[in-house]
Amino acid sequence: MSKIPSLTLERNAVDTVPCVTHAKLFQHELLEEPSSASTAEQRRTLSGLTRMAEEICLNCPLMTNCLYAAVVRYDVAGYAAGTTERQRAAMRSKLGWRVTPENLDIFTGRTSGRQVEHDEVIRLRRVNPADSLETIAERLNCSVSTIKRHLRMERRGGTSGVTPRLKLVPPSKEQVITALHEVTGVLGQVRQLRVA
Ligand code: SF4
């Protein structure tokens, strides 16, 4: 049974990145994969978790830059910058923009830029079911985030098939905030976000 982790929001006492301070919340399995909430209780739990994480992100001094990076530069896994993976994908679709998980790996220095083969991830998972995701990531010299993404893609039976019309020029921060507004319906707080 999923439980909401005990959490005290400390809006102005940010000694470190808020999502790191509240790692138990941001790494909660339901928040990482909202589609896994199958029972009414899990959905209620997910709703509570999402509200807490959203409040933390919207009050985070890094919010605007974090949102831009998570939408435009790196395909991070899980909940980030007040958005789920699905919401960020919808925002990219609106913006005509696409990023790959490997962008994040290059940024974190986990790979030389070689694309991680989807079939290789699935093969390693099948032949070594007891291995942790960290072990598989180490073998493929990529991030755990990338491994998770390939496994999810496999569970969902492949990509969505939606191919947005792509632009060559990255969207601006204003455009990303507008897309956030359109996709999540978060209104008041987003208007107050400063575009750095
Ligand atoms: S906005 Fe980004 S950096 Fe700030 S708490 Fe949310 S995920 Fe973390």
Instruction: Tell me the domain boundaries of the chain.
Output: 18-92+170-191, 101-155
Q: What's the token pair of residue 86?
A: 């699905």
* CB neighbourhood size of 58 (10 A): 16
**57: CA distance to ligand 1 center in Å?**
5
Helix (H, G, I), strand (E, B) or coil at 37: coil
The pLDDT value recorded for residue 109 is 59
| Nearest atom within ligand 1 for CA of residue 53 | 6
Distance (Å) from CA 59 to ligand 1 centroid = 9
Q: CB within 6 Å of ligand 1 — which residues?
A: 17-19, 56-57, 60, 62-63, 66, 80-81
More confident: 117 or 160? 117
Q: How confident is the model over 74-114, as pLDDT tens digits?
A: 888 889 999 998 999 999 999 988 887 655 666 555 554 55
Query: Across residues 128-149, what is the average pLDDT?
Result: 81
Is the four-CA dihedral 4, 39, 77, 91 of positive or negative sign?
negative
Helices (H) and strands (E) in the chain, counts: 12, 0
Is residue 55 predicted with pLDDT exceeding 60?
Answer: yes
- 186 versus 85: the higher-pLDDT residue is 85
Of the residues 11, 55, 57, which should be mutated to test ligand 1's pocket, given the most ligand atoms within 8 Å of the CB?
57
Q: Which segment of 5-14, 97-106, 143-152, 162-171 scores lowest on mean pLDDT?
A: 5-14
Residue 165: pLDDT over 70: no
Instruction: Give the per-residue pLDDT at 71.
Output: 94
Q: Is the pLDDT of residue 195 over 70?
A: no
CA 177 to ligand 1 center in whole angstroms: 15
Q: How far apart are CA 135 and CA 100, in angstroms?
A: 21
Tell which atom from ligand 1 comes closest to the C-alpha of 60: 4
pLDDT at 185 over 50: yes
Q: Which of the two residues, 119 and 135, has the higher pLDDT score? A: 135
Percent of the chain clearing pLDDT 90 (strictly above): 34
Which carries the bigger pLDDT value, residue 8 or residue 147? 147
Residue 15: predicted pLDDT: 57
Task: Report the sign of the C-alpha dihedral through residues 123, 127, 133, 137, in that order.
Answer: negative
Q: In terms of DSSP H, where are the helices of the chain? A: 18-21, 23-26, 29-32, 40-58, 63-68, 85-95, 101-108, 118-127, 133-140, 144-155, 173-184, 188-191
Average pLDDT, the chain: 78
Instruction: Using the atom order of ligand 1, give the atom closest to the CA of residue 26.
Output: 7
Ligand 1 centroid to residue 54 C-alpha, Å: 9
Tell me what the mean pLDDT of segment 125-136 comes to.
84
